[in-house]
Structure 1
């Protein structure tokens, strides 16, 4: 079985170079010719990097530019300087420097443009192309962008095309594209359909009413022309590429066309009145906010122009012809209130919809980002697991870990197997190589901890690369011993040749080190061919290992070998088939095991020996620097040129910037260049992550269209928008709604506007005051219920008696969907009813409007427009007598009738302000309201409206009014227009609310999966490393340029072996060629590992298993450094913990013996002292400890006695103070240490101290 040799490091004589000496040595090294070459090469690469950036920028700028005249201009403008933190040449992280940006000119549609051009001014495909070019440029030239907000372009999520200048907030062009395609495009399409449908409806009504064509030519020209114009725009809008490029033009054009239509409607088809086309202009105002792609500022300006122009136009046209201005003023004020209400409702709707859409966009980004992160976590987990275990074993073990993380009963049936799972397979026809670095123990005694870990990592990293090149798999590192196998996991016909070639390459590599540094080290290699059992045993600290008699023989082939030569067995020689020349090895002379088993051995003759180049001596540095640097320093500096990757160097990276075997180019590189290459490999991962996120977002945006929400979906029904999943539907309806109080507030503001309008135009009756007073009271109670919690929160002391209110308002209203529905229904029903309520109490006791006209003076009728004749006569009558006016105002002031219709429209708008209330409820409420309003207009109060029209257009004196001037027709059409518009907005809002809920639900589930993957990664990492070391590598502040190493002053090591297992292990058909023997060993090691889960053994760290030997340590999880002033017993308490753990191992083995009918006994050795801990190996990272104390602990086990715990004299003294009884064994001879006095620890303890001091 493998021998567990460890590097002896004399920490007591550890020497560290002062900083000045290190600087002097570095200066001496950089003055060498190789370093000079490095500096020149680095400067050349910097210049090449700049030239490449210039060339690419010039290519981007020149594309599409025509004419040679712009070449000189391009040459001037193509310079771009980047000076920001994280990008000062190659990405140093200094203090933040201001960004000096000279923006190059870019071309747009074949036309050269200069100055700063933001991405929102370019088409989306050009934005994506520019972004992609920037990314490919970064990827090609290898420059390092600073990470985080300091890096170029970083800190601007989703926006890669512009440079983030400090203090400037960049435009998120991805969000604009998302907003454009998900919200603006479908709404413009629906708006155009509504307008075209209105035009068709007006034409149908016109022809159905039998009006004369020659009397209404303006109408017949205006409406079809508008229909044709909007149809043309509709066709262009449906072409998404045109829509994206001409979005602003379309929005302005549609708005201008609508306003123009409104004025044509006003001045055609009849007389001009103060209430003319108010509903149509209110429609324009509302759609400017809700359906046209204006910004909030643009919408305010456009709607302001719309309202102001209507008001000013009517005021100017009517003011000069009205003898009494008072009635006109009240109507104009009513119009202003209606427009103000439309502006407030539209701005409110736009603001909340923008917030909701931004949230949906953020959730969309999260849902797109989470699969990327999940993919990253899975890739990281796969990479980490495959760095520990072969793929065929890793898959099975990963599934078991995931099941364990997801719960004990997740997706599995109750197992009837009482044994732990065994992940071991048998492989035949493989070759095993063992290699030991001769002289390294002496060299390590002169190393600092950092130098020792660096040397081991570089050496074994080089060996890993050689193994990769020769199709060998590294199995394990034992101190300075390295062994690997060829023919795993797939059989190879030339496995023996691969191992021999690898051994020769290893000897050649060590020879180069020896020649270059003058350090006396060499390589001793042994190779044997045969069969192996390979896999993982135990539950903790998995390490892929091999077992068999052939493995033991290969280990002894190395022990009986010759430094600098490859020692092979006769079996391996047969597999070589004459590929190499050999000579007798005489291994029996140097190793008793080989002699005992009669193994014939050979030494391979290196084919390169005769072609040895004398030029290798040129690289020898002892002649130049040998007197200035220690051997360990020379070794460390030379080995750095090999460029071995660091353990877990790619743990936080999506893309490995190294080669397949985890290394960069490992040809002889001048020292120092590796550091430059390391910086090249550490490019900003965040930039690549954002690039991938942007690309997926672009694909998502491209997949969005106006018809998508109407197509069949796996999650949402097309018509009702219900979720197919009933549980999801129930969860959506029960979500909290903190903004509900603002919905009620906005509805109350609309109610106030309705009240003001009716007060301005209606007769002042008692019914008007009482009805609105009661309605105000009820709405005030609803508002108080919604806001009481917030009021009481600010006045806790003064409103102690109403402590039940916060629960009602902040919990019940917010969290109770049924209560929200009741309050919504109450509020909207109240507003809708009050819009027409007073219309039922208007009577006509004192004559009709026709009487007013017939009694008016003839000069008024002949010189005044018909509409103003009414107003003038009403004004004249009011001047005659206030009493007469009060007696007949209900019959005479019928100009209030259009304003009832406008109040009905405002009532419908109040339904739409409840954005997150169920879409089907709002649809039903608005539909019922529109039907009832039309019944009132067309049936119950039809005579009143007919009388109003007849009064304006007497049959004998005035022509018949057109469709646009007929109050009944336009009132009904206006109601249906607003109903359809509000219904589309409600459905659009409902769809994206549900879509946002789906994104959130998906994001939640993916976050749980990501958390499982992260936990899996942590479990895997902690299965390789102690928890505190795993935190170091998982930490955000860890840099992959650093190797982990740590010195400890007092660590207790234990080696516990089962020597009887060697005799127990046999290979026969009965035990499946040794597989059943390993199953028992797996049970033993697994039971030992289970002890580590006990709280009292939380300080015990398993290091590894070596064959049937179990290695553990305590004292590694404490913070190293000067010992704190504490009690002597507490300072060495971890030594007592280790002894207790050894006792527990003995007890566990006794239980196993009873069940397996065996008589295994442990041989345990314990020692304490200073050690070095570190992680080495990029291919299979391995945590280990080194030091003289570790070697002594190993010798305590190998020289021990079955059933005994052997300790050194120093350790026995500590144990005696802790209450353990030790008996002196005597002085024994220990290999490499001379004669040592050792002690046995008794299993019976005499606790002179309290129980609390014995155990932690």
Structure 2
């Protein structure tokens, strides 16, 4: 006959199963996300209610003590299962989990005390303590799981944000690199930088066999490329235009014009090389070969003529372009280690320069070599003979020619540069007309316009106000344009610090009515500092939302959480290196620890283990006898716990980042290694169950059903302690828990002791129990076989042991996966952060090789730079006989350039010395080295003497002479001679260009220094007369007399003899010190105006120096 309560139990079980399946299905719907707390709460209420229904059969079987004992053990085991499932698996807020579980435990124990008559007050008190242990383990696992999952979520989100930020950094770095050199050269250069960084981090092992080529020369990348067309273009009439303009105004004009040229160069398949004063030169077919290289250069020349015509109309000027094109072979690459740039060298480059200088304004002058590539595409007329070679002028395009420039002009809107606006929508199809007084006007053929028309008033007003904005209008460069074109708000949080410059560009665009895209995504750092607390909270919330969106949008994130990167069996990381790092850094002490750090997890585990052990030990002491084995075990276990506890306290109180290398610290570090920690952890996690089994005796445990039940209670709870120490391998903890369950089943089920769970065939007396225990009393004999064991009770206990063991296995597995995911997320975020930091360092390194560091900082904030400097020093140092040694018959001259690279590299190394911290390299022009001092206002203010930077520059020039001398001694086949020109005065420094950022200085002092070099004496340092008053304080000079200087007429010049011995800086009173201030053009009240004609003439010096040496740039 089936009992009614069993029917009710089956019905309740089926109902719970159906509701659980329904909740599981509901989790797959889109409504679950908004209602997951309600669903979880409903599920836990159903589970708790169903588990409390176990008291129904207890009430029904109250007359059967044996059945009541069995059901009480099962009910307590079921209570443990419900509590651990609620703590570990159900997604609810922590406070709600604690409240529900606490209420359930209280209700369960109250019902047990009222409905189970066999429970004594002592057993009830022990059950309450055991409930406390369950809550302790459950709360511990819940808190650590929450911390692990939240930390993993944050780290994964952070990693995704950093990864996207890394992509922005990569784009920025590539743009910055391409502003100096082509991608092909940049790839080689950045590879060398990464190799240098790697080698610097790892100690170099001494080589047993010296290699001849090792460290003889610096890394050198130079390629010989044939069929390359070179274009040189010079501004005709620039001298007259600059006669009545300040230096910073000229910078603004050049920046406007060169910005147009940069755009054309980028669109017409040319590679800009550099600007030399008012000269602009570029190449096509280098470094990437292309068959239409000659046409690209000619189209570039025609477009430049058109662009300067538009420039004249916009600015009411009267200048023109003289363009020369030649085709030949070049050596392309980089020379030097600081302030380098991509450049080309060859005799053909020199010849292209001559083609420009012998050309006509408004015409494109091509050589006979280029003529062979162009004859099918252009009408040409013969020009003057040059070195017995024919030359030609471009008259116009043939009708069959593909007008590439016109097509691009109709497809692309003009960039945001000075003199160009976005409102230009049509293409002007006017013919190119040159001033009437200039020969060679293009009359026969119609030349399609290269540029869209521009609004004159916008450009003119901008140029007129250039004196107030440092001569360079704030506008977006190609680097900024690339970032603005990328539709993501993450760029506002870039770590490199360029956001503020974009914001300033955005403000400029809005004020001028331009509709620039994407400015709203950038955050101004000033706002973040000055806004209210509510604004900061809003920004933080937006940042959190961005991270959530990153995780939602990343398709790999779901796989990360569903299929973690671990072995499904061992839970080891699939990446062996990651597994080694995990084991090595398992207990790594963080300088800024959080609750997710490994050290905190270790302390938490140890404190929970100690509390759990004390409660179990107290329960055993109250419920059972105290044999000697138990006392010895407790003494040992308590001593170990206290020692480890004190070690943890000592580590917690130790000063962060200052570990004392004493004995205790060494013990702690050793114990927290991977294998020792597994031994220590397994010992600690086994102490509670060991304390229980060491207290087992047949008389003390199995003498009555009440004691047997209590023994099962503490064993069931102790099995949950194997869920502690999540840093241990889950296999070891779970196997220990399985062994403990097997031991319990063996102790209860095997006949090692008399079975107390017997069927009540008759009353059992105390004497019979004594007989069952094997104790002999005089004259009394008992037979144990007269009683039969209750097999159903044994099966019940074994069933609950299996269920609890399975729960421990599942929880241990999930906890270790969660912990490993947290570590993996942190490792990935740290790796990505390291990568982005490396990218930033490379970008910064490259940027500071383009422009000085203090200039780069200002560009980050204002996106523009132009500054006046008073009394800045300038030197030009030329290797006067390098062009005599240069010979292209041997490897095309590549080895001679390798020697030049070594020499310039030695000069660059001098700049790294603190002795020359005020000296800045400007550029190299062929075999001419240009440097300046006094361009950093901060350093000048820190100098002990107002002329320190001038003295350092002269010392630097002397050091260059010493470098030449040492170089000649090391390379016996060379006897280089250096000639140096020195001058100081007022200069204007600025950064110009759109696709090619270029830092340079302008002013009469620059022109004079160049003349001091070109009209100097080989092997000597020459200065003009006005420098003598300052420099003679530390140096001895001799007069060279009055000599003719081009553009300067006659000048008194002096040659350096030597530096004075044992001289000290003569610190003048502040009232007597000469004015050596640096003023920003944004605030200046005075112009730095060069003498008439000097600025324009000086701007042509660098180009002139090239033609004098025959060796091209």
Q: Is the TM-score greater than 0.5? A: yes
User: 1:1050 touches 1:1115 (CA, 8 Å); kept in 2?
Assistant: yes
Q: Which moved more, 1:343-352 or 1:1208-1217?
A: 1208-1217
Aligned to 2:989: 1173
Q: Are the equivalent residues in 2 in contact too, given 1:570–1:601 (CA < 8 A)? A: yes
User: Do the aligned residues in 2 keep the contact of 1:740 with 1:814 (CA within 8 Å)?
Assistant: no
Report how far residue 424 of structure 1 moved: 2.6
Q: 2:196 aligns with which of 391, 399, 404?
A: 404
Which among 715, 720, 724 is matched to residue 909 of structure 1? Answer: 720
1:1249 aligns with 2:1063: yes
CA distance in 2, matches of 1:553, 1:1057: 21
Match of 1:1102 among 917, 921, 939: 921
Residue in structure 1 matched with residue 584 of structure 2 by the alignment: 731
| Structure 1 partner of 2:972 | 1155
Say which of 906, 916, 928 aligns to 2:739: 928
Gaps of 5+ in 1: 1-211, 589-593, 659-663, 665-669, 797-802, 845-889, 955-962
Mapped pair 1:1197 → 2:1054: no
Distance (whole Å) between structure 2 residues aligned to residue 778 and residue 671 of structure 1:
74
- Seen in structure 2, the aligned counterparts of structure 1 residues 644 and 265 have a Cα distance that, compared at 3 Å, is closer
Counterpart of 1:259? 48
| Structure 1 residues 388-426: Cα deviation after superposition (integer angstroms, max 9, x where no partner) | 222332222222222122116899997533444442333
Asked whether the 8 Å contact 1:380–1:654 carries over to 2, the reply is: no
Counterpart among 1026, 1035, 1039 of residue 852 in structure 2: 1026
Residue 899 of structure 1 deviates from its aligned partner by 1.9
Counterpart selection for 1:807 from 664, 682, 685: 664
Whole-angstrom distance in 2 between the partners of 1:655 and 1:1078: 41
The alignment status of 1:740 with 2:602, answered yes or no, reads yes
In the alignment, structure 1 residue 918 sits paired with structure 2 residue 729: yes
Contact 1:785 1:809 in 2 (8 A): no
> Take 2:346 and 2:684, find their aligned partners in 1: how far apart are those partners?
84
The 2-side partners of 1:309 and 1:256 are apart by 13
* 1:71 aligned partner: none
Residue correspondence of structure 1 range 285-304 to structure 2 within 5 A: 285-304=83-102
Quote how far apart the aligned CAs of 1:288 are: 0.7
Give the aligned partner of residue 868 of structure 2: 1047
1:1231 equivalent in structure 2: 1046
Cα distance, 1:1182 vs structure 2: 1.8
Structure-2 change in CA distance of 1:679 and 1:707 (3 Å): closer
1:717-738 Cα shifts (integer Å, max 9, x gaps): 7xxxx96888447525665653
Instruction: Say whether 1:1064 aligns with 2:879.
Output: no
Aligned to 1:81: none
Matched with 1:1132 is 950
**Equivalent residue for 1:835?**
692
Matched, 1:750 2:567: no
Q: Does 1:389 align with 2:187?
A: no
Instruction: Give 1:633's match in structure 2, choosing from 431, 446, 465.
Output: 465
* Shift in alpha-carbon separation, 1:805–1:442, aligned structure 2, 3 A: same
Distance 2:896 2:131 in 1: 90
Q: Aligned residue for 2:135? A: 343
Q: Flag the 1:942–1:433 CA change in 2: closer, same or farther, 3 A.
A: same
The answer to whether the Cα contact below 8 Å between 2:934 and 2:949 also exists between their aligned partners in 1 is no
- Matched with 1:1088 is 907
Matched, 1:898 2:714: no
Deviation of 1:645 after TM superposition, in Å, equals 3.6
Query: What's 1:271 paired with?
Result: 61
Contact kept in structure 1, 2:872 and 2:987, CA below 8 Å: yes
Shift of 1:1090: 3.9
User: Cα gap change, 1:309/1:448 in structure 2, threshold over 3 Å: closer, same or farther?
Assistant: farther
Q: Which of 361, 371, 382 is the matching residue for 2:153?
A: 361
- When the two structures are superposed, what TM-score results if normalisation uses the length of structure 2? 0.73
CA contact (8 A) 2:682 2:733 kept: no
SS in 1 for 2:312: helix
Q: 1:779 to 1:674 in 2, by over 3 A?
A: farther
CA contact (8 A) 2:979 2:1019 kept: yes
What does residue 809 of structure 2 align with? Answer: 983
Asked whether the equivalents of residues 1169 and 1189 of structure 1 are also in contact (C-alpha less than 8 Å), the reply is: yes
CA 1:254–1:385 in 2, change beyond 3 Å: closer, same or farther? same
Q: 1:504 aligns with which of 291, 299, 302?
A: 302
Q: CA deviation at 1:478?
A: 1.1
8 Å CA contact 1:265, 1:964 repeated in 2: no
**How far apart are the structure 2 equivalents of 1:577 and 1:842?**
116
State how 1:127-138 maps to structure 2 within 5 Å: none
Partner of 1:40: none
Judged with a 3 Å threshold, the aligned counterparts in structure 2 of structure 1 residues 779 and 447 are, in CA distance, closer, same or farther, namely farther
Equivalent residue in structure 2 for 1:435, among 233, 237, 244:
233
Q: 1:1126 to 1:503 in 2, by over 3 A?
A: same
Provide the rounded CA distance (Å) in 2 between the counterparts of 1:1049 and 1:1096: 22
Deviation at 1:313, TM superposition (A): 3.7
Once the two structures are overlaid, the 10-residue window that deviates more, 825-834 or 1161-1170, is 825-834
| 8 Å Cα contact 1:430/1:485 also seen in 2 | yes
Question: Cα offset for 1:1097?
Answer: 4.0
**Structure 1 residue 241: deviation in Å?**
7.6
Q: Verify the 8 A CA contact 2:1038 2:1054 in the aligned structure 1.
A: yes
Q: Is the 8 A contact 1:789 1:807 kept in 2?
A: no
Q: Is the 2:322–2:364 Cα contact (8 Å) retained in structure 1?
A: yes
Query: Are the aligned partners of 2:247 and 2:1002 in contact in 1 as well (CA < 8 Å)?
Result: no
Structure 1 residue 1191: Cα displacement = 0.9
Residue 1037 of structure 2 is matched in structure 1 by 1222
Cα distance between partner residues in 2 of 1:834 and 1:558: 98
Shift of 1:213: 5.0
Alpha-carbon distance in 2 for matches of 1:813, 1:240? 50
Query: Equivalent residue for 2:333?
Result: 535
> In the superposition, relative to structure 1, how do residues 713 and 842 fare at CA in structure 2: closer, same or farther (>3 Å)?
closer
CA contact (8 A) 1:1022 1:1030 kept: yes
Q: How far apart are 1:1168 and its partner, in Å?
A: 1.5
Report the equivalent of 1:416.
212
Supply the distance in 1 between the matched residues of 2:921 and 2:326 (Cα, whole angstroms): 30
Q: Hey, what's the Cα distance between the residues in 2 that align with 1:691 and 1:358?
A: 12
Is the 8 Å Cα contact of residues 175 and 478 (structure 2) preserved in structure 1? no
Find the aligned partners of 2:282 and 2:563 in 1 and give their Cα distance. 62
* TM alignment of 1:694-843, pairs within 5 A: 694-695=551-552, 697-702=554-559, 704-705=561-562, 711=568, 716=573, 727-728=580-581, 730-731=583-584, 735=588, 738=599, 739-754=601-616, 757=619, 762=623, 767=626, 775=634, 778-779=637-638, 782-783=641-642, 785-787=644-646, 790=649, 807=664, 811-812=668-669, 815-816=672-673, 820-821=677-678, 823-835=680-692, 838=695, 840=697, 842=699
Q: Deviations over 1:717-765 (max 9, x none)?
A: 7xxxx968884475256656534343233233334444565677x48x6
Q: Which runs of 5+ in 2 are unaligned?
A: 63-67, 398-430, 434-442, 492-501, 503-507, 524-541, 590-597, 766-788, 1068-1113
Quick check: 1:255–1:288 contact (8 Å CA) kept in 2?
yes
User: Secondary structure of the residue that 1:268 maps to in structure 2?
Assistant: helix
Shift in Å, 1:463: 0.4
Deviation at 1:640, TM superposition (A): 8.4
For residue 432 of structure 2, what is the aligned residue in structure 1? Answer: 608
Distance 1:1118 1:1071, change over 3 A: same
Offset, 1:500: 3.1
Q: Take 2:822 and 2:250, find their aligned partners in 1: how far apart are those partners?
A: 56
Is 1:1141 equivalent to 2:959 in the alignment?
yes
The one-character-per-residue Cα deviations of 1:136-160 (angstroms, maximum 9, x if unpaired) are xxxxxxxxxxxxxxxxxxxxxxxxx
Task: Specify the SS of the correspondent of 2:212.
Answer: coil
Give the Å deviation of 1:293.
Answer: 2.2
- Hey, what's the Cα distance between the residues in 1 that align with 2:585 and 2:652? 29
Structure 1 CA distance, aligned partners of 2:475 and 2:865? Answer: 14
